[in-house]
């Protein structure tokens, strides 16, 4: 597998945030984001976990669910809205 440069990783993260912003207040599955970005699900999950550590996105998966759903945090949503 080829490596993705850090610049491209940041672009993919910003595209993921844009997807979450456009679908707010609904949450999206990691698989749906992977399909939209033409990346594999594990790569997108790794990026989502990184964004979760930075408190930009949150995991809103229901208990006993195998699918993971993600949404922007309220603070990140407000700041993103101000930027646009």
- List the pLDDT tens digit at each of the 84 positions of the chain: 568 788 888 999 999 999 999 988 888 898 999 999 888 889 999 999 999 999 999 998 877 878 889 999 999 989 988 887
Q: What sections of the chain are H helices per DSSP? A: 6-23, 30-37, 41-53, 74-83
Q: Give the pLDDT score at 38.
A: 87
pTM: 0.85
Q: How far is Cα 82 from Cα 5, in angstroms, rounded to an integer?
A: 29
Specify the CATH class of 6-83 in words: mainly alpha
pLDDT in the model for residue 2:
62
User: Does the CA dihedral 67-4-76-79 come out positive or negative?
Assistant: negative
**Which is nearest to 78 in space by CA: 25, 36, 40, 41?**
25
């Amino acid at each position: 597998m080829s490596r993705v440069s850090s610049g491209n990783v940041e672009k993919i993260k910003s595209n993921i945030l844009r997807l979450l912003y456009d679908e707010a207040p609904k949450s999206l599955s990691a698989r749906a984001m992977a399909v939209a970005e033409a990346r594999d699900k594990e790569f997108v999950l790794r990026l989502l976990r990184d964004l979760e550590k930075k408190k930009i996105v949150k995991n809103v998966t229901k208990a006993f669910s195998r699918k993971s759903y993600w949404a922007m945090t309220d603070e990140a949503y407000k700041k993103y809205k101000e930027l646009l």
